[in-house]
């Protein structure tokens, strides 16, 4: 009997001990995992409020990115072309070597198939192919070229994807947004870059004895292959033909960026009209062969003036001879333009047209003389 009560006592103690341990253990867990631990709900007490409602939906919205720039590109882009020229073969010590190809850009300016580009894009090519914006390839022929303005007109036949509109470059202001479209490196056709008009009326030395005048300066990215492509305003009008970039300054050995230049559309229109009508631009003819004089030349040869052109020979039937000029004379001024570093001879001459009459200022020995001359073509 005693044994029975002893066993019952042990069982009761074990039962009470189990209940007490479970209660205390639960309290410890509840305190450790309660709201004080990172703000999480207490373990074992997840409520309905802690689960976010699931009846909400996420909506994906499409943003309309149709801007003035995209509209301008959509308007003019289809009229932009890539121009590929086949260069003549070269004779070397090892025999004939293929001349390879050149590439540039252009833009269709007429429903008749006329394409404007740079003269330097096509001047050395034996044959030309125009690649339209839709990928079609067409043979092209040269209608006319004008090295002085670095412009040329080509013609292609067949249906055209679009024709660009020429705008008024005279209305451009520094800071105005512009878009350059072209084929940099010949591979990335109809590439679009944007920038602003940095300045107008710029002049750059062509390296051929005259200045490229009245250029538009822009910071829109222009690279090799962009030459001949359009510079476009936000109305989708062509306001310039991209012509060259300046990468560094030889004088200061400085690398520069964002210096691109374009022929203004007012000049493009005037030159293109003459090239289409006549195949060339009518330039005034004076009838002389000359040597440019600058201060260094003047000091070396002890000349009476620092700037001008020395007449080395003269066409006996030309306007200069008819006006009374002689070999050895030095022309110092043509009309209103004194010949100096800002007004090279050809720039001063080409401000006039065949048929214009001007007064020339001429140094003959120690004398300064005036002559009246009428230009021919």
Q: What is the CATH number of the domain that holds 131?
A: 2.40.10.10
| 257 and 326 part of one domain | no
| 243 and 307 part of one domain | no
Interval 215-266: pLDDT, tens: 999 999 888 888 999 999 999 999 999 998 886 655 555 556 678 999 999 9
Domain boundary among 91, 121, 155: 155
Interval 220-231: pLDDT, tens: 988 888 899 999
Q: Which residues pair with 166 in a beta bridge?
A: 238
| Residue 107 structural domain | 70-155
| 206 and 269 part of one domain | yes
| 245 and 146 part of one domain | no
104: in domain: yes
Which pTM does this prediction carry? 0.77
Mean pLDDT in residue range 46-68? 60
Whole-angstrom Cα distance, residue 82 to residue 225? 9
Q: What is the CATH number of the domain that holds 313?
A: 2.30.42.10
| 212 and 293 part of one domain | no
Domain boundary among 155, 180, 206: 155
| 357 and 311 part of one domain | yes
Domain boundary among 224, 244, 278: 278
Burial class (CB in 10 A: 0-12, 13-18, 19+), 222: buried
* pLDDT at residue 279, as a whole number: 95
210: in domain: yes
| 198 and 265 part of one domain | yes
Residue 64 banded pLDDT, cuts 50, 70, 90: low
36: in domain: no
| 181 and 273 part of one domain | yes
Asked if pLDDT for residue 90 goes beyond 80, the answer is no
Mean pLDDT in residue range 32-50? 41
Higher model confidence: residue 38 or residue 54? 54
Interval 180-203: pLDDT, tens: 999 987 778 889 999 999 999 999
42: in domain: no
Mean pLDDT in residue range 305-324? 96
Asked if pLDDT for residue 125 goes beyond 80, the answer is yes
20 — phi, psi (to 5°)? -65, -45
Whole-angstrom Cα distance, residue 294 to residue 348? 16
* pLDDT at residue 195, as a whole number: 94
* pLDDT at residue 84, as a whole number: 94
| 274 and 301 part of one domain | no
| 273 and 310 part of one domain | no
49: in domain: no
- The alpha carbon torsion through 110, 236, 213, 104 (nearest 10 deg) reads -60
Whole-angstrom Cα distance, residue 282 to residue 69? 37
Q: Which residues participate in catalysis according to the annotation?
A: 120, 150, 227
Burial class (CB in 10 A: 0-12, 13-18, 19+), 280: middle
Q: What angle do CA 303, 209, 324 make, to 5 degrees?
A: 55
- Mean pLDDT computed over every residue of the chain: 84
Nearby residues of 132 by Cβ (< 8 Å), 6 or more positions away: 81, 138, 160, 161
- In the chain, the number of structural domains is 3
| 169 and 112 part of one domain | no
Whole-angstrom Cα distance, residue 247 to residue 261? 12
62: in domain: no
19: in domain: no
44: in domain: no
* pLDDT at residue 101, as a whole number: 82
- Rounded to the nearest angstrom, the gap between the alpha carbon of residue 6 and the centroid of all alpha carbons in its chain is 105
Whole-angstrom Cα distance, residue 234 to residue 12? 95
| 172 and 270 part of one domain | yes
Residue % of the chain over a pLDDT of 90: 65
Q: Which secondary structure element, helix H or strand E, spans residue 349, and what is its range?
A: helix 345-349
């Amino acid at each position: 009997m005693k044994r029975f009560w002893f066993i019952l006592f042990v069982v009761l103690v074990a039962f009470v001990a189990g209940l007490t341990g479970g209660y205390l253990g639960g309290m410890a867990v509840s305190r450790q995992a309660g709201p004080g631990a990172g703000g999480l709900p207490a373990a074992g007490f997840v409520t309905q409020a802690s689960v976010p409602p699931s009846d909400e939906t996420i909506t994906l919205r499409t943003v309309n990115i149709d801007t003035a720039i995209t509209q301008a590109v959509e308007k003019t882009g289809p009229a932009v072309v890539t121009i590929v020229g086949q260069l003549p073969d070269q004779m070397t010590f090892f025999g004939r070597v293929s001349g390879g190809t050149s590439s540039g850009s252009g833009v269709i300016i007429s429903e008749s198939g006329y394409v404007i580009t740079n003269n330097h894009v096509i001047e050395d090519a034996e044959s030309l192919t125009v690649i339209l914006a839709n990928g079609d390839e067409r043979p092209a022929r040269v209608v006319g070229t004008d090295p002085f303005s670095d412009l040329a007109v080509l013609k292609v036949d067949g249906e055209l994807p679009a024709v660009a509109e020429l705008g008024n470059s005279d209305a451009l202001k520094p800071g105005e947004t512009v878009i350059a479209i072209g084929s940099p490196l010949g591979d990335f056709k109809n590439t679009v870059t944007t920038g602003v008009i940095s300045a107008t009326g710029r002049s750059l030395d062509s390296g051929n004895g005259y200045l490229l005048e009245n250029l538009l300066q822009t910071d829109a990215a222009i690279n090799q292959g962009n030459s001949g492509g359009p510079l476009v305003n936000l109305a989708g009008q062509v306001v310039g033909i991209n012509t060259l970039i300046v990468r560094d300054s030889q004088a200061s050995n400085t690398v520069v960026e964002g210096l691109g230049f374009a022929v203004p559309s007012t000049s493009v229109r005037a030159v293109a009209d003459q090239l289409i009508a006549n195949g060339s631009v009518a330039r005034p003819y004076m009838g002389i062969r000359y040597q440019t004089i600058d201060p260094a030349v003047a000091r070396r040869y002890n000349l009476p003036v620092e700037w001008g052109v020395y007449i080395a020979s003269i066409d006996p039937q030309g306007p200069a001879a008819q006006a009374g000029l002689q070999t050895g004379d030095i022309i110092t001024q043509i009309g209103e333009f004194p010949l100096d570093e800002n007004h090279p001879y050809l720039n001063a001459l080409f401000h006039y047209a065949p048929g214009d009459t001007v007064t020339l200022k001429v140094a003959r020995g120690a004398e300064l003389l005036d002559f009246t001359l009428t230009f021919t073509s």
